[in-house]
Chain A
């Protein structure tokens, strides 16, 4: 495990600035630790040698009070700075995370689900708080304090310095060695624990089923037995895994003991004065303390890095879009769309859908796609939107200037010419008018009303509030608002997915009339099974299930 993930510095620049603050505070801490040890040694030695308080003791106590207050202040500043930095880093990561996820989702690029990203962005990244406030400062202290303490010891007593300097580097070395040796065992243990939890959950979830078959009463004992089996095997691995901390503790405390005994013996021989002796035994444990605490903060580190890892996994996922450069030809100027043998495979599904579909459409035409569910009609619309790249076949845009593959066309510019209504179109919280204006924020109210009217939605209700996910409107009303949104941008290609599902016949006729009217200036591709829609079509394209799918 890396102590510091360089990607954190790359993706969140606030990390670097904070690192400087942490180092400064670490240096301050080291200085205060040394100052406190010196004051205590001077104070005790003075009193012992004089047999009571000396004039100097007052000054020592005064300075000691200052040092204590300063250490408290640094402890406060460290956490305050950590949380502040964490807040900034989280904000930077959140922004990038959501922006990337919003690009990935429409392109069906896999990765974590929407809910997962939302949770990660809002709460999951909070695990970084612990990394910033507990792990990072300890890591810095583990470097700064031992060096500073060794420096001070060197000025006081060479023998003690050598003892500490010889054992100190062994600690990280042993940490790594023992860590490597126990990592596999630890991983096995986590897997076993996960399996056990999973088994527990499986049994609890299946209890009604077990009960129906009269087999539930034996389960409590079974769970106890499996937990006990796990305990026995785990304790075996723990006996080895905990050796790492045994070695660390032994090294740290034993060398402190050796230093103390050595100092004592040299004091007896008169080769050392009391104040220096005291300074050494107060400082020696301080050299080891931060290293031992880093181990304790390991948990906070692992959690924080796991959260960061989850964020990086999204950030580093490429957006699967061929960035075409060609400007899209205008369909109004008589261009034609040729869909040629388009085939899209989906992960986890054996057969492609659509499995080789071809048709043509031009401005002024309405093409209706029909076919069984799962045959890939909605996917075809996404291919036409340029959001899904076909795995076979192609979409050509043919105009007077020549013929260009949709893959070569600038996707964003192409989509600007399209109006699209999904099967279950998404409406954002706001008003009906806000939702219509999504396609053209600058549209005046008159055009919004006209678009609503054309889509068969009462324009007087333009100000009606829309709740989350379109709450407050029926499914049919949502479709009509989405149609108005599509019409408002005066598209030259209109893609409609079941626009009249759930509408009564009169409303359906209104909507189809609006579609026909829009088709005077646009090419329309509409997925529908409704007879009225098929009757309104210039051509009907049957999208069949793939052969393999029929057999299954």
Chain B
């Protein structure tokens, strides 16, 4: 339940606003219930034909409740949404603050855009926990309790019946609904999974089916699965209405008991006839308020598991332990010395790097090659201090002294070591904004120089908006090669003395990759450069090359 606690913790900061929203909601409900109650009293009292003056208070109250309900509901909705947005802001800020520590080393899965989008969706969806669940329930509890007290004071038995019926309608019926829903989901889920797999299969093979005239046969087979699925769904439908039926029964029973016991109370003289209408009709109004909880209860399991997922992610341990007193950076130029390095992504997982030794002298280019899964990206993450080693050391070798990376602040390490990722992220903004990220104070001339050295100048010159061209979501509006070149220009602008190039041409075809790689190495010639790639044949010249395989560096590859 840690996730839920984490999420609920945010409500504490907005206690007063939440309380105000609940108060407005309770007042709204009180108006609805009060309208019914005072009307009932007014009618019965009026039938006794008293002087009209004796009815004035009730008449004014009926009108006031009639107006108040609409106005208060309006205010309640505004207050509820305002509070929810404030909490959402808190939640997002806290999520980013936490992810800033975790990413990328602590959450290896987060390289998948789809999973990350789902996580972000989970965070944003949590706003419903307040708007759609917490507020309506709080209102129902307070308004329900007050009504029970009122009816109970007049006819104790009817009060008890109302209390029981409200609990049944607000808690038991939704619970029954979700129980039934889960059961039918369990029955339907495997069939739906098989159906979906069959559809994917059919569509993936649609070309073959069209050529071999086999589509109708396959569709007929799919229809068999469809029939099973539809039959299971229809079977589940029998139980679907149970929750609503139970809620309706509870509401009706409360009214029935109120009329039955109320009549006895009138006969016994413990209840004045004029209050009988109140005792009988108020339960109807209360159940109308409670009825609004069904969607809230329906949404609860989904929201709780979203909160759990969010909490689980944010509870991950830090992948990097920042030193209490970070050592100052040595003076450049810089080299790197890796000795017996072991590292892993998941604390409980196996080491991906299992004893790596590597020395990179200042200004030297070293090419690290190896098949995918050999630990190349792990090495990059350690060099950038995104990930702490589980064994061995990595030292930053300066002119005056050498310091282990673990003794330096992460931001200090990254102010020396630059990074070009295999799928560098471009923000949904302009080329210039993406470049300035590296150095907000860069002059236009410096931007132009970086663009030139990244080989982007002719392309940028051909754009009508030049550097102010928008790159689209994840840089979707520009080609893969241009995306990497923009990222390269950004790295050049940041001007780090050490550069880690992690599969910079991974997603590009050969015709684009080879010239890009050549430009890249030319642009970083005077820096200490570690180029990680699994396609060494594209690397121009014959730089020093080491092979990473199975988490170990082996002898230099013969060139």
Contact = CB atoms under 8 A, between A and B. Distances in A.
A71 B248 contact: yes
Contacts of A72: 245-246, 248-249, 252
A79 B199 CA distance: 29
A506 interface: no
Contacts of A383: none
Interface string B239-256: 011101111110011011
Contacts of A98: 199, 202-203, 219, 222
Interface string B280-324: 110010001000100000000000000000000000000000000
Contact of B259 (A43, A242, A427): A43
B74 A246 contact: yes
A77 interface: yes
Given A40-B280, A99-B219, A205-B116, A114 B70 contact: no
B213 interface: yes
A450 interface: no
Interface stretch (A172-180, A214-222, A453-461): A214-222
Nearest to B97: A220
Interface-centre pick from B70, B73, B437 (highest chain A CB count, 10 A): B70
Given A47-B276, A87-B237, A117 B62 contact: no
B69 A249 contact: yes
Contacts of A464: none
B2 interface: no
Nearest to B92: A223
Contact of A441 (B32, B44, B78, B217): B217
A257 B66 contact: yes
Contacts of A186: none
Nearest to A257: B66
Interface string B55-73: 1001100110111011101
Given A40-B280, A72-B248, A95-B223, A216 B100 contact: yes
A242 B24 CA distance: 15
Contact of B249 (A68, A121, A281): A68
Contact of B66 (A209, A224, A253): A253
Contact of A208 (B71, B206, B237, B421): B421
A84 interface: yes
A48 interface: yes
A264 B201 contact: no
Contacts of B44: 44, 48, 274, 278
B77 interface: yes
Contact of A265 (B46, B223, B246, B273): B46
A219 B414 CA distance: 17
A235 B82 contact: yes
Given A202-B428, A422-B207, A253 B196 contact: no
Interface string A227-248: 1101100110011001101111
A250 interface: yes
Given A234-B85, A261-B62, A265-B46, A211 B207 contact: no
Contacts of A343: none
A44 B241 CA distance: 31
A212 interface: yes
A213 B237 contact: no
B86 to A, nearest CB: 7
A215 B411 CA distance: 9
B280 A44 contact: yes
B35 interface: yes
Contacts of B104: 207-208
The size bracket of the interface on A is 35 or more
Interface-centre pick from B45, B65, B263 (highest chain A CB count, 10 A): B263
Nearest to B52: A268
A88 B82 contact: no
Interface-centre pick from A122, A248, A427 (highest chain B CB count, 10 A): A122
Contacts of B331: none
Contacts of A254: 63, 66-67, 70
A373 B509 CA distance: 10
B6 interface: no
B200 A115 contact: yes
Contact of B46 (A83, A238, A277): A277
Interface stretch (A102-110, A392-400, A518-526, A528-536): A102-110
B281 A65 contact: no
B266 A76 contact: no
Nearest to B76: A242
Given A219-B96, A257-B63, A277-B46, A418 B77 contact: no
Given A254-B67, A257-B35, A438-B208, A278 B266 contact: no
A228 B280 CA distance: 47
A412 interface: yes
B206 A78 contact: no
Given A47-B262, A208-B103, A76 B242 contact: yes
A318 interface: no
A274 B47 contact: yes
Contact of A64 (B113, B256, B281, B490): B256
A257 B427 CA distance: 57
A51 B273 CA distance: 7
A224 B509 contact: no
Interface string B470-513: 00011000000000000000100010000000000000010000
Given A254-B67, A416-B213, A245 B73 contact: yes
B418 interface: yes
Contact of B386 (A47, A208, A213): A208
B273 A133 contact: no
B90 interface: yes
B420 to A, nearest CB: 9
Contacts of B440: 215
B179 interface: no
B527 to A, nearest CB: 15
Nearest to A208: B104
Contact of A75 (B40, B206, B244): B244
A231 B89 contact: yes
A476 interface: no
A147 interface: no
List the 4 closest A-B pairs by CB distance, nearest first: A257-B66, A68-B252, A52-B267, A83-B237
26 contacts: A43-B259, A44-B44, A48-B47, A52-B264, A53-B264, A64-B256, A82-B237, A99-B215, A118-B199, A122-B196, A200-B96, A209-B421, A234-B85, A250-B70, A253-B66, A256-B35, A257-B39, A264-B39, A267-B49, A274-B47, A277-B46, A277-B47, A387-B211, A412-B213, A468-B201, A485-B208
Given A106-B206, A228-B86, 13 more contacts: A48-B44, A52-B267, A64-B256, A68-B252, A72-B246, A207-B104, A209-B424, A219-B100, A234-B85, A245-B73, A254-B67, A257-B39, A264-B59
